[in-house]
Structure 1
Amino acid sequence: MTIETPTGRLLGTWPDGSPEWHAARASRLGGSDMAAVLGRSPWVSPYRLWHLKAGNVVDGPASDAQARGHYLEDGIRRWWADRHPEFEVATGGTYAHRERDYQLANPDGLVLKDGRPVALLEIKTDSQDDDDVWGKAGTDQIPLYYRTQIQWYLDVLGLEVAHVAVLTARLEFREYTVRYDADDAAILRRRAEMFLDSLMFNEPPDFDGARSTYATVRELHPAIDGTTVELTFEEAAAYCAAKHALKAAEEAELHQRSILADRMGAAKKAAFAGHTIATRQARGESAPFVVAGRKLPDIQPRTEEEDAAA
């Protein structure tokens, strides 16, 4: 079924990863791309995205998490549809904005009323600790990288509401509702145009500390020719200082982990102000070990004056 949206132009309905799907994305920016453009993606840095769009590197095979989401998507869609019999749910396709062709959307589904699209349906699976990532069900409290993707899709399609259906790490179904924000959409478009300009003028983003940036640089230079590069003083000093700082930080973290493990005793979880700071886990017959919580709060040590006041 061909479904047009208020501002979305249907390009086609192709399987993810197909040649047609890749061709549609090559010169356009989708929702997950925009999370990377803004530095909000946990998986793709701005530097890697730039080189992907420039054709200098290619994506590898789908990860286990991506494969899991693909196989579970239809079941989660049917769960949401069963909870909302007042709507019809159609599978999505690949859309571009009618006027701004660089804007791309691949919605997981469209919510229809009397055959007319009235909302977006996005489907997610998440293996992370729910309390650290997702807010209370029924709210709009979803991870920032998903919010970026959804605002982009709403802007492409001309829809005002997105329903988000999630299967959490605890195998619990949840749903959230996100509304279109015109100010956020304007910021996204401006950043998208800046990114596309940087491609046109061959100006890649600065290096950052993302793993995907380092992976990209490795892919850009696959050969080893046996030569030696003489570093400047600044280059050598910066790298050596970073390595020494890393060693010191690892020792400091291990010190604090030992203190935390003793403080927790037989407890499973350590928390502060509603945040999970750490959990104790075990594999097989081995002794339990401490694992840091995800998205730890930025808690700065108190000054002497603050300690005295407390």
Structure 2
Amino acid sequence: MSTESTTDHPYTVPEGVLIGHLTPGTAAWDEARAGLTITATEIAAVVGLSPWMSRFTLWHKKSGLAVAPFEMSSPIEWGTRLEDAVALKWQEEHPGFLAAPAGTWRHRERDWERATPDRLVYPQPAGEFEIPDQADSLLEVKTSPFGDDWGPDGAEDGVPVWYRCQAMWQMNVLGLRRVHFAVLISGHDYREYTVDYDEAEAKILRDAAVKFLDEVSHGVRPPIDSADDTYQTIRVQPDGFDDIDVEIPAVDAARYENAQVASKEAAAELTAAKSVVLDHIGTGRRAVCDERRIAYRIPKADGTTKSLNPYKQKEAA
């Protein structure tokens, strides 16, 4: 059941105002995130760093235009199911602190800045059972099938940049100065990280958000990029079908035709490369090169190969 209250919350943060404990998917939840607002999960898209949403798609969403419907994936479903368990693990690892559900917040002065952290972290001295008046940090809970995007446990730069943007925005909205990350990788590899507030980074994000919302207000559409969700957004824009010819620029026609040829050539080369790697693996599980994981094999029940999948490779620093 949703507790969609906008009354004063008994616990406070330095700069945030609680909108309510809103249930995802409800009208109140959608309203708190709609229109000319930027949430912590959207800020990475604003600066072009989100692996899930392009700036182009976010612009259409904020402009009230059609975007592809949300589809529940297995990683998202299990991330939601496991959130409480991973949060409890963090709390067990940090006696003296309590991680409580956070709710949805806005900045006290800049109403358009929104955030829904996973947990507020309260210091809880030994022997005391009441939650202190003010949280001192935040907790974000993440799950990942593979740890390629995450650094070693506790690494200072171990948090992927898109989650760092999310954490920085949450701190910017609530006025807190540290976000803890509790991460479960591959269902058994538990890691922790921290991100501390950086005013220079926060200002970059704020300035980018202001510019983005100004472009939304004035109808300045971002350029089309190579993200798949940009393509999905364009696919849902037409409202109707006219059986007519539409003249397009020669440069765009050539780009499309050349890309078709290159795609076929690349697909053929990829198939050959996969065959060679799979032949090397044989009955094994993973292909490695100089201790670097290249690909992994998923077998069928009879031991033959169901699929060969690449490991994500981090860009060189």
TM-score (norm. length: structure 1): 0.88
The whole-number CA distance in structure 2 between the counterparts of 1:181 and 1:272 is: 38
State which of 262, 275, 278 in structure 1 corresponds to 2:279.
262
The whole-number CA distance in structure 1 between the counterparts of 2:78 and 2:187 is: 15
Aligned to 2:243: 226
Superposition pairs for residues 32-51 of structure 1, below 5 Å?
Answer: 32-51=41-60
Aligned to 1:294: 312
Aligned to 1:89: 99
Contiguous gaps of at least 5 residues in structure 1? 300-310
For residues 22-66 of structure 1, the C-alpha deviation after alignment (integer angstroms, 9 at most, x for no partner) is 111112111110111122222111111111111112563451333
SS at match of 2:135: strand
State which of 126, 149, 154 in structure 2 corresponds to 1:138.
154
Aligned to 1:205: 222
Which shifted more, 278-287 or 111-120? 278-287
1:179 maps onto 2:196 in alignment = yes
Superposition pairs for residues 72-111 of structure 1, below 5 Å?
Answer: 72-111=82-121
Letter in 2 for 1:218: R
Which shifted more, 231-240 or 272-281? 272-281
Letter in 2 for 1:104: R
Contiguous gaps of at least 5 residues in structure 2? 1-8, 125-131
SS at match of 1:178: strand
Aligned to 1:22: 30
Given that 1:154 and 1:160 are in contact with CA atoms closer than 8 Å, whether structure 2 keeps it comes out as yes
For residues 123-168 of structure 1, the C-alpha deviation after alignment (integer angstroms, 9 at most, x for no partner) is 11212x22x1221122240222111111111111111111111222
The whole-number CA distance in structure 2 between the counterparts of 1:186 and 1:274 is: 40
The whole-number CA distance in structure 2 between the counterparts of 1:55 and 1:5 is: 32
Which shifted more, 86-95 or 69-78? 69-78
Aligned to 2:168: 151
Aligned to 1:304: none
SS at match of 2:12: coil
Aligned to 1:2: 10
Letter in 2 for 1:15: T
| TM-superposed deviation, 1:259 | 2.8
The whole-number CA distance in structure 2 between the counterparts of 1:10 and 1:296 is: 38
230 and 36 in structure 1: CA distance in 2 versus 1, 3 angstrom threshold: same
Aligned to 2:127: none
273 and 36 in structure 1: CA distance in 2 versus 1, 3 angstrom threshold: farther
Given that 2:67 and 2:233 are in contact with CA atoms closer than 8 Å, whether structure 1 keeps it comes out as no
Given that 2:15 and 2:108 are in contact with CA atoms closer than 8 Å, whether structure 1 keeps it comes out as yes
102 and 273 in structure 1: CA distance in 2 versus 1, 3 angstrom threshold: farther
The whole-number CA distance in structure 2 between the counterparts of 1:156 and 1:57 is: 28
Given that 2:67 and 2:236 are in contact with CA atoms closer than 8 Å, whether structure 1 keeps it comes out as no
SS at match of 1:31: coil
Aligned to 1:215: 232
Given that 1:120 and 1:159 are in contact with CA atoms closer than 8 Å, whether structure 2 keeps it comes out as yes
Given that 1:36 and 1:46 are in contact with CA atoms closer than 8 Å, whether structure 2 keeps it comes out as yes
SS at match of 2:236: helix
1:70 maps onto 2:80 in alignment = yes
Identity among equivalent pairs (%): 35
For residues 68-103 of structure 1, the C-alpha deviation after alignment (integer angstroms, 9 at most, x for no partner) is 222222222222222222112221111111122221
| TM-superposed deviation, 1:267 | 3.5
The whole-number CA distance in structure 1 between the counterparts of 2:26 and 2:10 is: 19
The whole-number CA distance in structure 2 between the counterparts of 1:11 and 1:229 is: 48
The whole-number CA distance in structure 1 between the counterparts of 2:103 and 2:54 is: 26
Q: CA-atom RMSD, angstroms? A: 2.1
74 and 212 in structure 1: CA distance in 2 versus 1, 3 angstrom threshold: same
| Number of residue pairs aligned between Structure 1 and Structure 2 | 297
Given that 1:125 and 1:168 are in contact with CA atoms closer than 8 Å, whether structure 2 keeps it comes out as yes
Which shifted more, 209-218 or 250-259? 250-259
Which shifted more, 96-105 or 239-248? 96-105
